[in-house]
Amino acid sequence: DSETPVWQDRLDYLCSIGDKEAATALATTKYEDSTLTTNRRLDAIFALFRIAYFHGCNVKDMGKAINKAHELVDKGGDWRSRNKLKAYEAIYCLAVRDYSHAADLFIDCVSTFESYELVDFGTIIQYCVLACALALERHALQAALRRQGAAVQALRSRFPELRELVESLHECRYADFLKSLAWVETQICVDPVFRPHYQHYVREARLKAYVQLLRAYRSLSLDNIADTFGVSREFVEEEISTFTAAVRLQCRIDAVAGCVVTGAGRGADADRSHLYQATIREGDLLLNRVKKLASVINF
């Protein structure tokens, strides 16, 4: 099993020349061949993932490959295969906006990364930082990155903009954070994984910054928030209104006083706000069901 079989060389060649149909057929045949070892069948599955990834980032086929890989790994995959699967699954999680799971997987596989047939190490570092920046809280983000010596070194030498993104958020320099986020947007809008979601990612990153700022206050003026983020009051007011209407921010805008009023920072108030919103939603659902029931029952 240590020597690369002929079919593996042929599969790599077909992938390298972009012959999707022939590569898919060969990889599928080898995956379904129960006479092969688990590791060889996993290599075929990883090839199917790469085919889906390189040909338009086909999320559906990527997900199928991940599920098949898990089935084989659970039956007896070795450490190498399990480690590779983490990198592959982490990229799939990014493609479906599961940033939390992606962050956990990237943190686990960065120090032992060897899936260079999928992406280079620099890309893994960038994906790791972007996932962690959105998924982890301030203290957890810094702690996670400090444990990854390779990631820290890469941030310092190769990706200063990403380093500034993380540090500005941690240090509450929100104007600098938005500047770094603007740079990130120019990068991820052309990235095969992030391209369909780059606007969503940027919006979620701004939401995280708003939550982090407002958490410490009962109320804060719109002018103060605008100055803190280095944007116009109109922009802040419109965006916070949108997040509030979608129940993504637990606050309200006092238009007369020109401020944002929030119960953040007071756990009981925040819990009551969540409970109130949930009660309203459940009450509406119950009322609709009662109306439907009443329309078909003759009292």
| All domains in the chain, ordered by first residue | 217-299 (1.10.10.10)
Contact between 108 and 97 (Cβ < 8 Å): no
Which residues, 6 or more positions from 58, have their beta carbon under 8 angstroms from its beta carbon?
Answer: 52
Q: Is the pLDDT of residue 150 over 80?
A: no
Question: Could you give the CA distance from residue 253 to residue 245 in angstroms, rounded to a whole number?
Answer: 11
Q: Is the pLDDT of residue 275 over 70?
A: no
Contact between 226 and 233 (Cβ < 8 Å): yes
Question: Could you give the CA distance from residue 226 to residue 236 in angstroms, rounded to a whole number?
Answer: 6
Contact between 126 and 159 (Cβ < 8 Å): yes
For 276, other C-beta atoms within 10 Å of its C-beta total 11
Question: Could you give the CA distance from residue 113 to residue 119 in angstroms, rounded to a whole number?
Answer: 10
CA dihedral 207, 208, 210, 212 (to 10 degrees): 160
- The pLDDT of residue 77 is 73
Q: State both tokens at 5.
A: 């079989």
Which residues, 6 or more positions from 67, have their beta carbon under 8 angstroms from its beta carbon?
Answer: none
Question: Could you give the CA distance from residue 123 to residue 101 in angstroms, rounded to a whole number?
Answer: 18
- The pLDDT of residue 85 is 94
**How far from the centroid of its chain's Cα atoms is residue 121's Cα?**
18
Q: Is the pLDDT of residue 299 over 60?
A: no
When pLDDT is averaged across residues 106-131 and rounded to a whole number, the result is 90
283 backbone dihedrals φ, ψ, rounded to 5°: -65, -40
Q: In one letter, which amino acid is 150?
A: A
Q: State both tokens at 117.
A: 């047939």
Q: Which of 7-21, 57-71, 278-292 has the lowest mean pLDDT?
A: 278-292
Q: State both tokens at 268.
A: 């009981």
Question: Could you give the CA distance from residue 223 to residue 259 in angstroms, rounded to a whole number?
Answer: 8
Q: Is the pLDDT of residue 147 over 80?
A: no
pTM of this prediction?
Answer: 0.81
265 backbone dihedrals φ, ψ, rounded to 5°: 95, -10
- The pLDDT of residue 265 is 46
When pLDDT is averaged across residues 278-290 and rounded to a whole number, the result is 73
Q: Is the pLDDT of residue 268 over 50?
A: no
